[in-house]
Structure 1
Amino acid sequence: MAYTGTPSPAGPIGSQYCVCKVELSVCGQNLLDRDVTSKSDPFCVLFMEVNGKWVELDRTETAVNNLNPAFSKKFVVDYHFEEVQKLKFALFDQDKSSMQLYEHDFLGEFSCTLGTIVSSKKITRTLLLGNGKPAGKGMITIAAQELSDNRVITLSMAGRKLDKKDLFGKSDPFLEFYKPGDDGKWMLVHRTEVIKYTLDPVWKPFTVPLVSLCDGDVEKLIKVMCYDYDSDGGHDFIGEFQTSVARMCEAQDDFPVSAITFYGQNKAATITRDFSFLDYILGGCQLMFTVGIDFTASNGNPRDPSSLHYINPMGTNEYLSAIWAVGQIIQDYDSDKMFPALGFGAQLPPDWKVTRNSNPRV
């Protein structure tokens, strides 16, 4: 069986690109000293806003006698691009062994969205009091890193001199790849296409996530089985072998399968990264938000509640709601926070002529 490294084919491997886990690292600088005979013993508490209320997610360890702590405990949160995920980082000086936060001295807090941290990769901000005023001293630094194994492996497979299994023809070979399951049984990972009427098949290159093929462990055994396809499902067994991703990546030698030799040539496999949506954001990619609004009469009288341009006494209409819903998400990924707004069809003073377009910045 020949393995040759090939570039990854275009297109995503899965659909889980906007949902992943993010690791948040927290450091404090020049914190308030609340202790009389020593320095503060700070720890950090992470909260997330859920239905308008702050819910505690996790806490770091306590850094004893330290006004510039670098906490080893990391916060791991699920990142959803399409949601506004509000976080609050609150620092306390531990005075007792109690889990009740009111029994510890408050050092300051900082609130932002997870999108703000992710788009910046690392932010440093002044700690504030609960009323939004500066705490007097203290800064907090938060860094984000994606937690995912987004490596993929690309394999190009070819067989040579396979067994002839068909009475009046050759063979119709295909391959199946297996990894050990938690129950000790082999679990099917991938099946190639069938190549008709040949003893020297060359299968199309295919790419699978490394975590799917071997749980991300390149030393883990995988099993490759070769069959001759039969339309009634009674496929004839040709041969098999066991190997690992590490061995395939280094292999130059042949793989014997039963009495058949599967010849190896070049490198066995190519491992690359299948970049996720978050990889692009952490790499500096920004998103732009442009609004286009139709001010023509086709949307109805603005005094009519059914109109998209309804001048609502409450201050909102359908257009504003849509702009707010999208802009609230996108704003975290645009550094200048300036969003072009294009409009057409409005009658603007002083001449009250119908405009073709306008381009204010909001």
Structure 2
Amino acid sequence: CALGRTETAVNNLNPVFGVKFQVDYHFEEIQKLRFAMFDEDKCATQLYEHDFLGEFICTLGVIVSNKKLHRPLILANGKPAGKGSITITAQELSDNRIITLTFSGRKLDKKDFFGKSDPYLEFHKQGEDSKWMLVHRTEVIKNTLDPAWKPFTVPLISLCNGDVDRNIKVLCYDYDNDGGHDFIGEFQTTVAKMSEAQNSVEFECINPKKQKKKKNYKNSGIIIVKSCKVGIDFTASNGNPREPSSLHYINPLGSNEYLAAILAVGQIIQDYDTDKMFPALGFGAQLPPDWKVSHEFAINFNPTNPFCSGVEGIAQAYSACLPHIRFYGPTNFAPIINHVARFAAQALQQEKAAQYFTLLIITDGVISDMDETRHAIVQASKLPMSIIIIGVGNADFAAMEFLDGDASVLRSNTGEEAVRDIVQFVPFRDFRNAPKETLAKSVLAELPQQVTQYFKQRNLPPTNPAPE
């Protein structure tokens, strides 16, 4: 289904579109998005009648995890659309405050030879890189020097990142049909300043070039904030992942899929570890006290000692941490894989040939950092480690099946091949009604041969060979 359509940028090869698209993000689902670019034909009545310039397809998870994407446009035949590219910027609307603004103008500069001006306003906020980013563009008011624009409402976090003292740049233009819009003037303000007066606030619209040239220059007109109201958007809902519908729900009368997977697999592989102390990490959650998203945190909240005693210790730490975190996203595998790979690489450097590491990932989401994950697995395939992935819930796990190199050799995004298959993926739903031993058997089926293959490739004999 169509999410929406931007405005048309007239006669412009480098357009910046003002229309925003608000999408509910569900990190446990694959939410595919298609951005298609067209050259508008005034005579066309259907979208397909416009000239197709190229498209870019990705998942919402990729956009969320990157915040900003710059990608080439692709034609229908899969080839690049020349030098054309698209930049997508996303921002989480975590602040549910909204702002409603009403603007008007007075005595703006006349720009049209056979008329007055056709003014519109653009609102820009300053990013962390100090560059200005378009936030909102008003409608065009035809043939007037005293425009009154319609009230508009935007999320406060979009306008100023939720900071009422953050600078906002307002630019006024005269619209031209050929796309050569004439600059009238600009000013800077903040939400705090616009909210100061009860009735209206006035700002001089300044054209810096005119100001330098003309000694008696005052301004290019006045922009008036007639109304500024900040409120709360009560339509947003965040849901409660601790309700019985959640996969993480701790049922007083039983278990859940996460605990079942931890116990089924952990009870077998823990026998191959001498001290039974296992580091347990979580990812894709907001942590107190600042509620920043972490993709690599100790579930016992002790980053210097993330180890849990046996599989029961992991289960207890998991249950204990749930009330203190907020489930979030995206689902990034690479940080966890690289974390274990560092241990494996360190053991290899210390010539501890007998050590082999097994990473168990239990997840209900699709992978948001696929390129980074592929690269991490290809590099990890050179180390003494294997990765077991158990998918819980009913999500589409096609991406995880792709990582399991049973069908073909896994390659990184640069084309480098994995030296061996180290990933085993199993969907938990196939074993919901089966004995836990059946799940463990399927999950661990490939692990012994992965271990022996590693030591054979490196020509490392067993440390304690059996007597002949």
TM-score (norm: length of structure 1): 0.37
Structure of higher RCO (CA pairs closer than 8 Å, 6+ residues apart)? 1
Q: Which has the larger radius of gyration?
A: 1
Select the structure that is richer in strand. 1
